[in-house]
């Protein structure tokens, strides 16, 4: 990449990716360097929020059932089937725990040789009992993918990557090619997700791969202006295949050029958004009619009103944006519920910095520390709490009886 902004999709392919030819997504490379540099510096230094006990990736061992042997084939299989629920609609950590609960009662479902013989109807019932959605689709995928895993790889997901040393080969082996090759439900994101899980557990050898681009990665990308959206309306839906491709290339190229482990980069992005971004009022979306009365894409969604005088909103803002290592570069609200309910993702105005005004030291005591980037000697000033604190719970947010979302 050059040091200046550039388009990652060339002119020849861009019209095929977007019907509107006067719109362009441009990488702001100086901004990429600044934001990701500060983010990785904070992550490596275990600064806030990475040092919180509640800041956890889905596959954290504390989320796993006690009867699951760490590093075993069953563990690899658990991660393989967990990918079924890494598509939104449920918090990833909640999905990991609920899939783990299934392993406690029905471990045979995680042995492909056995699971392929189980009726999809039974699996659908089990998924429903554990509060997991999309039962009909996932249950059929579970059975078919078990059949393929058993026939082709001896029921061991680790065997899928035997002899694989690059992402292109992994993609060819795992991606569903619609003709019987690969696995149902696995496209680029899920291939990266499976690689991430197995590499993180050191079950397979590491090689560079594009990180899985999801809400959390895109939220950091959009909110911090790593991409410029020329020709787009301020609150237009930005979620397109073009955006996903550009984001994947952006982070992959950054990791390769900087020599950064993709797993660490993924964790730095995902954990920041998951633990902080959904807590501030500008990203909270209300459902006046409640979740049980959702009408698909026609569901009524309302931004939570910003109340500058609200002590609760101000405290939530300080515990999220006010302590964020990239607060100085983050401009936009990027709410997640619009993605999971309406299928779109975009900017919902600028962050409500008015909530940071006149915060008293006694309300949320902080200190400023300096951490040093060992790679180039630069330092970064970050805000840290003076005392340990829990994450703000949904019950503490000023939302009355409306259904909240802290995605």
How would you write the pLDDT of the chain (407 residues) with one tens digit per residue? 434 334 444 333 444 444 445 899 999 999 999 999 999 999 999 999 999 999 999 999 999 999 999 999 999 999 999 999 998 778 999 999 999 999 999 999 999 999 999 999 999 999 999 999 999 999 999 999 999 999 999 999 999 999 999 999 999 999 999 999 999 999 999 999 999 999 999 999 999 999 999 999 999 999 999 999 999 999 999 999 999 999 999 999 999 999 999 999 999 999 999 999 999 999 999 999 988 888 888 999 999 999 999 999 999 999 999 999 999 999 999 999 999 899 999 999 999 999 986 655 445 555 555 555 544 555 555 555 654 444 434 333 333 223 333 34
With contact defined as beta carbons under 8 Å apart, do 385 and 364 qualify? yes
| CATH 1.10.340-classified regions of the chain | 61-200
With contact defined as beta carbons under 8 Å apart, do 232 and 336 qualify? no
| Bridge partners for 403 per DSSP | 287
Residue 61 tokens read as: 């061992």
How many residues does the structure list for the chain? Answer: 407
Based on its alpha-carbon atoms, the radius of gyration of the chain, rounded to whole angstroms, reads 22
Please measure the distance between the N-terminal and C-terminal CA atoms of the chain and give it in whole angstroms. 32
Q: What is the pLDDT of residue 363?
A: 53
Residues 6+ apart with CB under 8 A from 119: 143
In terms of DSSP H, where are the helices of 106-187? 112-115, 120-129, 135-153, 167-174
DSSP 245-280: HHHHHHHHHHHHHHT--HHHHHHHHHHHHHHTGGGS
With contact defined as beta carbons under 8 Å apart, do 304 and 281 qualify? yes
Return the half-sphere exposure (C-beta side, CA atoms, 13 A cut-off) of residue 295.
7
Of 325, 327, 328, nearest to 371 (Cα)?
325
Of 20, 103, 115, 26, nearest to 66 (Cα)?
103
Q: Percentage helix, strand, coil, to 5, in the chain?
A: 45, 10, 45
With contact defined as beta carbons under 8 Å apart, do 308 and 295 qualify? no
Cβ neighbours of 375 (radius 10 Å): 13
CATH annotation of 61-200: 1.10.340
Distance CA 96, CA 76 (A): 13
Distance CA 287, CA 302 (A): 6
* C-alpha torsion 155→156→162→165, nearest 10: 130
Of 33, 93, 88, nearest to 62 (Cα)?
93
């Amino acid at each position: 990449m050059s040091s200046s902004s550039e388009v990652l999709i060339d002119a020849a392919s861009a019209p095929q990716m977007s019907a509107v030819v006067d719109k362009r997504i441009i990488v702001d490379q100086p901004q990429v360097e600044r934001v990701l540099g500060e983010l990785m510096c904070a992550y490596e230094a275990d600064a806030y929020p990475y040092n919180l006990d509640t800041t956890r990736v889905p596959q954290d061992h504390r989320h796993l059932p006690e009867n699951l042997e760490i590093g075993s084939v069953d563990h690899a299989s658990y991660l393989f089937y967990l990918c079924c629920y890494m598509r939104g609609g449920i918090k990833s950590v909640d999905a990991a725990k609920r899939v783990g609960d299934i392993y406690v009662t029905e471990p045979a479902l995680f042995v492909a040789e056995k699971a392929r013989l189980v009726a999809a109807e039974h699996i659908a019932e089990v998924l429903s009992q554990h509060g997991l959605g999309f039962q009909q689709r996932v249950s059929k995928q579970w059975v078919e993918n078990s059949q393929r895993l058993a026939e082709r790889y001896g029921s061991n997901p680790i065997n899928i990557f035997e002899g694989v040393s690059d992402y292109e080969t992994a993609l060819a082996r795992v991606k569903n090619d619609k003709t019987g090759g690969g696995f149902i439900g696995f496209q680029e994101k899920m291939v990266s997700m499976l690689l991430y899980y197995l590499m993180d557990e050191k079950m397979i050898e590491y090689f560079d791969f594009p990180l899985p681009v999801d809400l959390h990665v895109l939220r950091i990308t959009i909110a911090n202006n790593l991409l410029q959206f020329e020709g787009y309306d301020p609150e237009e839906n930005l979620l397109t295949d073009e955006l996903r491709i550009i984001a994947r290339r952006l982070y992959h190229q950054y990791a390769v050029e900087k020599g950064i482990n993709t797993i660490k980069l993924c964790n730095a992005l995902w954990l920041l958004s998951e633990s902080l971004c959904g807590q501030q009022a500008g990203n909270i979306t209300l459902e006046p009619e409640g979740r049980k009365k959702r009408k698909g894409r026609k569901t009524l969604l309302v931004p939570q009103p910003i109340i500058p005088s609200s002590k609760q909103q101000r405290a939530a803002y300080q515990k999220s944006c006010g302590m964020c290592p990239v607060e100085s570069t983050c401009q936009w609200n990027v709410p997640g519920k619009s993605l999971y309910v309406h299928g779109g993702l975009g900017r919902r105005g600028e962050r409500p910095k008015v909530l940071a005004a006149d915060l008293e030291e006694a309300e949320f005591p902080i200190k400023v520390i300096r951490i040093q980037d060992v790679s180039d000697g630069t330092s970064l000033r970050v805000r840290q709490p003076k005392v340990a604190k829990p994450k703000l719970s949904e019950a503490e947010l000023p939302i009355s009886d409306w259904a909240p979302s802290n995605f």
